[in-house]
Amino acid sequence: MIILITGISSGFGEAMARRLTADGHTVYGTCRRTVEPIPGVRYIKAEVTSDEDCRNAVEKVLEEQGRIDVFINNAGMGIGGPLEFSSLEQAQRQMDVNWMGMVRFLHYVIPAMRSQKSGKIICVSSIGGLMGLPFQGLYSASKFAIEGYCEALRLELKSHGIKVVVIEPGDFSTSFTASRDSVCSPEVSAAYPAWDRSLKSIEKDETGGLKPVVLADKISKIVRARNPRYHYIISTLEQRLSVFLKAVLPPSWFASILSSYYKL
């Protein structure tokens, strides 16, 4: 299959590119910086916030291969901190990368898949796209947007033979933790003393989380699946349980559970 993945410089993207190439697929991947190349992977330098870069990346694959069988929207970033102290520029950046980056690529990918009358779109969301996480509100908002967009897109593309799958990872040990843009200052800590405690808990969970290869193995199966599920939660049992509780408990009860977990 011809596969295009966004953001393969590290973490999920790198692990997926390695696994899918090893599976025998032709893999193209976008990245913003120069990295140690994975043998067999075809790199495209592109920034997901650039309309031109997104268009050029899709056109390059189509010119060389004539089709795109699987598109995996993976590129993303996170901003942490109390929403009150998050700047408008940070809010715009968060949505521009995580949500609009996906929208930009799909603007060019979907017409190609529709003309093929086939294709598979896999978008990486998060458990944070299923519940609003305290001190990660901007990140959750961007992932909620992915969930809603893909829910509508799935229905629109059904008659064209295109499958839309959303992945909701829990905590994973990747470079995402170190690269998070966090709002930190004495003023923030004074106004929200729970923020410092929560950040330590968040980082501990992430650094002790699952390895990216776990997600890559699941993606390998989804790519091969003839009729994949709409959603795949890839996380620890505890985190899958939290998603179940969110669905069945009264909102105030679940809010109490989250408040206790994040030491609010």
262 flagged as catalytic: no
235 flagged as catalytic: no
Q: How far apart are CA 56 and CA 163, in angstroms?
A: 24
Candidate list 28, 86, 108, 139, residue with the active-site label: 139
Candidate list 108, 142, 143, 235, residue with the active-site label: 143
The answer to whether the beta carbons of residues 125 and 165 sit under 8 Å apart is: no
CB atoms within 10 A of CB 43: 17
Burial 104-126 (b: 16+ CB within 10 A, else e): bbbebbbebbeeeeebbbbbbbb
As a whole number of angstroms, the longest Cα–Cα distance in the chain is 57
249 three-class SS: coil
Candidate list 28, 86, 120, 125, residue with the active-site label: 125
Q: Which amino acid is located at 248 in the chain? A: V
Return the active site residues.
9, 125, 139, 143
